[in-house]
Amino acid sequence: MAEHVVPHHFHSAEQAFESSKLGLWLFLVTEILLFGGLFVTYIIYRAMYPDMFHEASHHLNRPLGFVNTLVLICSSFTMAMAVNKTQHNKSNRASQYLLLTLMFAATFMVIKYFEYMHKFHDGLLPGAHFTNTEITHPKADLFFSLYFMMTGLHGTHVLVGMGLILWVLIRSNRGHFGSHYSTPVELTGIYWHLVDLIWIYLFPLLYLIG
Amino acid sequence: MAYDSNDHHKNYINAEKGIWSWMTTLDHKRIGVMYLFATMFFFAVGGIFAMLVRLELFKPGPFFSPDTYNKFFTLHGAIMVFMFIIPIIPAALGNFFLPIQIGAKDVAFPRLNLLSWYIFVTGSLLLVFSIVSGGVDTGWTFYTPYSIRTATSVILATLGVFVLGFSGILTGLNFVTTIHKLRAPGMTFHRMPLFLWAIYATAIIQVLATPVIGITTALLVMERVLHIGFFDPKLGGDPVLFQHFFWFYSHPAVYIMILPGMGIVSEVITAFSKKHIFGYHAVAYSSLAIAGISFIVWGHHMFVSSQSPLANFLFSLLTMLVAIPTAIKVFNWTATMYKGSISLKTPMLYALSFLFLFTIGGLTGLFLAAISVDVHLHDTYFIVAHFHYVMMGGTVMGLLAGLHYWWPKMFGRMYPEKWGKLSCALTFIGFNLTFFTQFWLGKMGMPRRYHDYLPEYTPLNIASTVGSWFIGAGMLIMFIYFIWSLFKGKRASENPWGGKTLEWTIESPPTTHNFHKEPVITTGPYEYGELKTTGEA
């Protein structure tokens, strides 16, 4: 058991926690604005080439996208349970839930890998690398540029999240957390919910418009 | 205030020894000083590029090759904007004084603070590396489609900007959190010094605007590497979209630059007029108003970009709104000085220079907000003169006011007052000679970014270049006496100017933990003539 020490510039553990939480929420606002640039690009090009977007979206694998959506929602649930168990001093249960979350995240990335491989194989690539001949619209590469930028940035966030969850899992196993101190678990949880939430927007915008 | 006299020589500078103790420090004051040295270094580098640009324009005919000239003005702009003027006041002076002014021991996230310094250095090195590996010739705006096609190192430079953006975001969120969560007992929002209101408004812009330049530069890099085609018209993209994204960040960034300068001027004018600021609340909230309006005016950079007439009209109208909170500040500073007991020390001279030059910069901004005038003046030297009056006449003068005001507190040494005044006078005269002439050049139609010009522009260009030498001399003198003062300067007292904010109640230089016991605040920040001290008694 490692005793957690409140940093010297805070008065109390509560003040430290509140500060960390505010800091993280502000960071998440910046994340939304980061994705916001891509959403604006999406809106503009979808308005410019609506037919192409419809046609191109048919070339995404809906069942796999749907499974991935379910996987992420489940991972959000297990993450929330991990936070809950930590706060109730059930570190072992919390660790199990964290491990489950990590596995869901890995599943998401594996499925994403197969989707990407399939796109590479079909020549559905961004910009000048686009070689697919099935889609007749001359600007279809723009859709796949967006697809790869948006899902790629999201995937990067999933990888970062997996790193965070692993770090929290290791510390949880060592008994660092409990009702007295659960900040890293909670913050990782909030971050993970944002990753989930962004996917919930990406899925219909990219896969379901046909 | 009471402290042990044996403790007197123990301060944040000599508390720990060695370079390593600085590179791993979590003390906000040390990190502020590290930012100060890094950004002032880049100020010197950017300044040298500026002098080279002016040298080329001394007379018609090339001095350097056109390519070299393009690289010089691009690097001057990019270095000054991203590595000096945006970070310096918040990251250097803000880091140092924000926790002290609210009565805290440190910022909310000291480790993150150190990390953002390292991120800043990394981003800067990327930009420096782009100079070494051939330079960039796009202008600091990296406009597409040229930036996609030029053979120069755009990728390195934009990656540098991307990384620097992260540093700004982290500093911004650290500051917002610190102000919300770490104020000392009694330090309500309405008792905060106005510098902090300005830093707070700035931090909000940093947090909300910077991610957009991040994704924009990321897209530009992808565009160059993968030819994704969002901004390249050849691939079906829209170069104007890049301009929208770029200015959605870069216009608010103008207020990231100017708001902290305004905050400093509020501090300096009250301290050197020995008066409570006129209209405290109006000055405080006008910072937030400027921050808010900054997000809805970016289109005024694009009046001639094929934007719709309706958008032009709206952006023109909204742009003029900025004049309201700005004028509120200027009038309140003037009213503060009215019947004040004014002492014309170096910081005050810089603050007055700020008032004079920034007012010219602001008023010429109104010319440019009017579409019909802007179409005529677009991309001429009038623009160059305008934004230098705002960015250098405003922000840099504000910065120098703050640097001279707080120098004794930061390093415990006084700088030589006479040399300070000389440096200020040279800079002020040189500045007007350099840039007022450019309003005329612009009005006569001389375009910006050209390495050569018609013979009829020669006299004014000579005057402008000579002015740049005056500024160079003024700044060189300042660098010399600041460094001299670190070793030989007279020891500074706790409160050499008679300031009333919290930093003047602690030692110069401050101890590692700032306060010996937590201050309790019972009055507002500028209670001149009524109370002997603020904060803890």
Nearest CA in chain A to B208: A30
pLDDT at B9: 67
The DSSP secondary structure of B283-295, one letter per residue, reads HHHHHHHHHHHHT
* pLDDT tens sequence across B188-219: 999 999 999 999 999 999 999 999 999 999 99
Nearest CA in chain B to A43: B241
Task: Express as a percent the part of chain B with pLDDT over 90.
Answer: 91
Distance CA B537, CA B534 (A): 7
Looking at the predicted complex, does its ipTM rise above 0.85?
Answer: yes
Return the closest-CA partner of residue B193 out of B438, B524, B445, B506.
B524
Whether residue B53 is predicted with pLDDT greater than 80 in this model: the reply is yes
Tokens 């109006």 -> residue: B282
pLDDT at B457: 96
* pLDDT tens sequence across B482-506: 999 999 999 999 999 999 999 999 9
pLDDT at B257: 96
What are the helix (H) ranges across B144-193? 146-149, 154-181
Contact predicate A143/A100, CB 8 Å: no
* pLDDT tens sequence across A10-23: 989 999 999 999 99
Q: Average of pLDDT values for B270-275?
A: 95
pLDDT at A150: 96
pLDDT at B532: 45
Contact predicate B210/B168, CB 8 Å: yes
* pLDDT tens sequence across A135-166: 888 888 899 999 999 999 999 999 999 999 99
Between the alpha carbon of residue A55 and those of residues A67, B1, B403, the distances in Å are: 22, 75, 60
Tokens 């690097």 -> residue: B75
Whether residue B4 is predicted with pLDDT greater than 60 in this model: the reply is no
Q: Average of pLDDT values for A186-193?
A: 97
- Interface residue ranges in chain A relative to chain B, Cβ cutoff 8 Å: 7-10, 15, 18-20, 22-23, 26-27, 29-31, 33-38, 40-41, 44-45, 126-129, 138-139, 141-142, 145, 148-149
pLDDT at A5: 84
pLDDT at B500: 92
* Among A7, A22, A27, beta carbon nearest to B181: A22
Whether residue B274 is predicted with pLDDT greater than 70 in this model: the reply is yes
User: How many CB pairs lie under 8 A apart between chains A and B?
Assistant: 114
Residues of B in contact with A29 (CB under 8 A): 207-208
- Tell me the pLDDT of chain A averaged across its residues: 94
Contact predicate A143/A137, CB 8 Å: no
pLDDT at B536: 41
Q: Average of pLDDT values for B512-516?
A: 93
Mutation site for A-interface testing, chosen from B174, B215, B234, B250 by largest number of A Cβ within 10 Å: B215
* pLDDT tens sequence across B320-368: 999 999 999 999 999 999 999 999 999 999 999 999 999 999 999 999 9
Mutation site for B-interface testing, chosen from A6, A18, A30, A187 by largest number of B Cβ within 10 Å: A30
pLDDT at A127: 80
Contact predicate B98/B196, CB 8 Å: yes
- Tell me the pLDDT of chain B averaged across its residues: 94
* Helix A140-173 / helix A183-207 crossing angle, nearest 10 deg: 160
Contact predicate B321/B270, CB 8 Å: no
Distance CA B474, CA B424 (A): 7
Contact predicate B461/B453, CB 8 Å: yes
Confidence of residue A2 (pLDDT cuts 50, 70, 90): low
A98: distance to nearest CA of chain B, Å? 25
* B392-407 exposure pattern, b = at least 16 Cβ within 10 A, e = fewer: bbbbbbbbbbbbbbbb
* pLDDT tens sequence across B241-260: 999 999 999 999 999 999 99
Contact A22 B177 (CB under 8 A): yes
pLDDT at B537: 37
Confidence of residue A3 (pLDDT cuts 50, 70, 90): low
Confidence of residue B527 (pLDDT cuts 50, 70, 90): confident
Whether residue A95 is predicted with pLDDT greater than 80 in this model: the reply is yes
Residues of A in contact with B100 (CB under 8 A): none
Distance CA B172, CA B179 (A): 11
pLDDT at B101: 97
What is the helix, strand, coil percentage profile of chain A, to 5?
80, 0, 20
What is the sign, positive or negative, of the torsion defined by CA atoms of A65, A66, A70, A73? positive
pLDDT at B196: 97
